Structure 1
């Protein structure tokens, strides 16, 4: 058996630069707020996109925010569909 020792230097938030505060906050969000279903949600989104001909890029979310870009691979007229069926304009 062996023993390892780690030394940490702790700072008060007031001692940090603005850049260090931002980095610490970002890492805290991504590490502390790990959402256990991220992989499953991504698989569901991928299946939805495949079935409906949608391309979804830049998809991400965390405990506080979300963002995504999407584009339909279907013809432009798909945007004019409604519950009554497609009608040419």
Structure 2
């Protein structure tokens, strides 16, 4: 038998806009302007570029960026995300 999945607990930030979410998905990403990531694949590539991470770094794997419990485990790799999101939020106003 397979392992039981751990339910999502808490929230995580969208690293583009700073919105706190229970789970990050394409529906949220599509609320950003067209020049920002619109899909999970684009988001992963954008995050890797913005935070100088190798695109193959496990921290930017799909599940790691989309679920709160994984975000918490990797958050040190994304230091400065609030400033990046704040800059975007001010442009968005």
Q: TM-score of the superposition, structure 2-length normalised?
A: 0.25
> Which structure carries more helix by proportion?
2
Identify the structure with bigger relative contact order (alpha carbons < 8 Å, sequence gap 6+). 2
CA radius of gyration, larger in: 1
